[in-house]
Amino acid sequence: MSIEEGSSEASPLLARNGDFLPRPNDRKSEVSGLAAMCFSSFFFSVMAIFVKYSAQTFPSMEIVFIRSIIQFVLAVTMCRYFQVPIFGERGLRWALFIRGLFGAVGLAMNYYALTQLYLADATVLFFISPVLTAVLARIFLKEPYGMFESIACLLCTIGLLLIGKPSFLFGQNIPDSTDIDAEKRLWATGASLLGATMSSISVVMLRQMGKTAHFMTHVVYFGGSSILFSGFFTFFITTSSSIPNNFISWAVLLVIGVTAFIGQSMQNKGVQLAPAGPIMLMRNFDIVFAFTFGILLFNEVPDGVSIIGTLLIIGGTLTMGVGKWFGFSKPVDNSRHS
């Protein structure tokens, strides 16, 4: 019996009395999930712009802490509005907390990398998470991972590398990259890779839980876990902190919190409706939106290599969409290699 049918022999990642509620697998639900992820990418891209701006004034953990408070308050408010349990069912609470903690660590590591690395390097490193998610979903959720998924992952990975132009592949001739201390770059690179891994685990756990908990409840736990994690570092580990002292600072942090809340809500809803692999590949549109904002707001016209990378990402996403829509994706048969 497959996971989609509610088998008790599903992944060991989560268990709720040995039972899982069924998740929708029809194409309409998948399209709705992919659309939700597209909106999520837009709001996360807006958030990233303000994170990079605010990093000039506030440490990364403090940004995460304030964002998490805003997100938590908004999530609790929306749970009351939707009349859903704020903390979910008793049998799910530890799983929700653990899932939120993985996401919180991933978020914190990503913010740290964004403030320490050249933006392209941090982005391309963190966005290996779609590939990790697809692999983990295949291992733990037994979701299909066939030819279309493999082609899409390959195209998106190459596209991300072309857009990001990480210095470990393209050398040091990258703007704003030569002035970064080698040791600092090493730590930030490790943080970004750790963040991508934590984010992938979080998404796979969310996908496995399906609709056993309202998507807004997941946001509550994500915000709460982030408050605990980032608050510990802000008050007990970080040596420097800065209290917002003017309207612009508060406004920037408020925008980060609100856009993060909307983006997280859309992501959780999307993950509940569509398979983990293509859902996370849709997050690659963060980069497409980032390039668009760069051109419109900062007059940053991408070079030819970056344009090719963008087209590869779009092509990979379309490949995945076509495969899913027409039902071409089949599980990879690993028996021949065993």
Q: Which of 13-22, 37-46, 53-62, 323-332 has the lowest mean pLDDT?
A: 13-22
Query: What DSSP state is assigned to residue 202?
Result: H
Torsion of CA 167, 201, 324, 293, to 10 degrees: -40
- Map tokens 């320490």 to a residue: 116
Q: Which of 118, 110, 114, 123 is nearest to 226 (CA)?
A: 110
Alpha helices by DSSP H, listed for the chain, are 27-54, 60-82, 93-116, 119-126, 129-141, 147-164, 167-170, 182-209, 215-232, 247-273, 276-282, 285-298, 304-325
Residues 114-167 have pLDDT tens digits of 777 766 667 767 767 766 777 787 788 777 777 877 887 788 778 777 766 666
| pLDDT > 90? residue 77 | yes
Residues 225-249 have pLDDT tens digits of 999 999 998 888 776 667 777 888 8
Cα first-last separation, the chain: 22
The tokens for 205 are: 């756990």
Residues 38-75 have pLDDT tens digits of 888 889 888 878 887 887 788 888 999 999 999 899 99
- Give 115's contacts (C-beta < 8 A, 6+ positions apart): 51, 52, 55, 59, 60
- Please state, in angstroms and as integers, the Cα–Cα distance from residue 182 to each residue in 119, 177, 196, 238, following that order: 16, 10, 21, 22
Average model confidence (pLDDT) across the chain = 74
Query: Which of 218-222, 285-289, 308-312 is modeled with the greatest confidence?
Result: 218-222
Q: Provide the residue count of the chain.
A: 338
d(CA 105, CA 111): 10
Mean pLDDT of 313-320: 72
Whether 7 and 20 have beta carbons less than 8 Å apart is answered as: yes
- What pLDDT is attached to residue 65? 92
Q: Which of 11, 4, 275, 9 is nearest to 152 (CA)?
A: 275
Q: Which of 61, 99, 80, 309 is nearest to 218 (CA)?
A: 99
Whether 230 and 61 have beta carbons less than 8 Å apart is answered as: yes
Other beta carbons within 10 angstroms of residue 248's beta carbon come to 12
Q: Give the confidence band of 254 by pLDDT, cuts at 50, 70, 90.
A: very high
Residue 128 half-sphere exposure toward CB, CA atoms < 13 A: 16
User: Is the pLDDT higher at 152 or at 107?
Assistant: 107
The tokens for 130 are: 């779609």
